[in-house]
C-alpha cells in the first residue's frame, strides 16, 4: 500500500527539521536545544508541532493539476533569558533548510515559507512560553500522489 501524499509531506518536513535544521543549530556558536520528535521535550530538545491542511488553489494550479497545502510549524519554548534568541535561531535555520531543499527531497514540487510569527509572553517572568510559528505553502503535482 502506498503512502498518502499528506503523510509523505509531514515525514519529509520532520526529516528536514530533525536532520538539516539540527545541523545548522549544532554549527551555531550558542548551545541551542535541538529538534526531536517523540514524547520528550526538555531543556536540551524541543518538539515542534506540524499541522498540515489543504489550501485554496489558484486558477493556474487547477489548470496544471497541482494540489496546494498550508503547513504550519510551531515551536514553543519555556521562558528563559535565551528564549527570544532561540526563536530567531530556529527561524533562521528553518528558513535556510527550506531554501536549500524546496522540494523536500523530491516529495513535493515546491515548499515556500509564507510567513513567520514570533510569540512573546504577554507579561515578562510569569511562566508563559515564547514561540515561533512558521507558515508554508506546499504544492505537489497530481502525479506525485501515486
**Per-residue model confidence as pLDDT tens for the chain (146 residues):** 457 888 999 999 999 999 999 999 999 888 899 999 876 656 688 889 999 987 777 787 677 778 889 999 999 988 888 889 999 999 999 999 999 999 999 999 999 999 999 998 888 777 788 999 999 999 988 655 44
Query: What pLDDT sits at residue 104?
Result: 93
Q: Which domains does the chain have, with CATH numbers?
A: 5-145 (3.30.70.1700)
Query: What pLDDT sits at residue 41?
Result: 55
Query: What pLDDT sits at residue 42?
Result: 60
User: pTM for the whole thing?
Assistant: 0.87
Cell numbers standing for residue 111: 515548499
Give the pairing of strands 66-78 and 129-141: antiparallel
Query: What pLDDT sits at residue 38?
Result: 77
Amino acid at each position: 500500500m502506498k503512502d498518502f501524499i499528506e503523510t509523505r509531506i509531514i515525514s519529509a518536513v520532520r526529516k528536514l527539521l530533525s536532520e538539516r535544521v539540527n545541523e545548522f543549530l549544532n554549527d551555531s556558536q550558542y548551545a541551542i536545544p535541538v529538534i526531536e520528535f517523540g514524547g520528550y521535550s526538555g531543556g536540551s530538545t524541543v518538539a515542534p508541532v506540524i499541522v498540515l491542511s489543504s489550501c485554496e488553489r489558484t486558477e493556474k494550479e487547477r489548470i496544471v493539476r497541482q494540489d496546494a497545502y498550508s503547513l504550519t510549524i510551531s515551536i514553543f519554548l519555556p521562558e528563559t533569558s535565551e528564549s527570544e534568541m532561540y526563536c530567531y535561531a530556529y527561524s533562521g535555520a528553518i528558513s535556510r533548510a527550506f531554501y536549500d531543499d524546496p522540494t523536500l527531497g523530491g516529495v513535493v514540487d515546491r515548499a515556500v515559507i509564507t510567513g513567520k510569527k514570533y510569540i512573546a509572553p504577554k507579561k515578562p517572568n510569569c511562566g508563559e512560553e515564547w514561540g515561533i510559528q512558521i507558515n508554508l505553502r506546499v504544492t505537489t503535482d497530481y502525479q506525485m500522489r501515486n
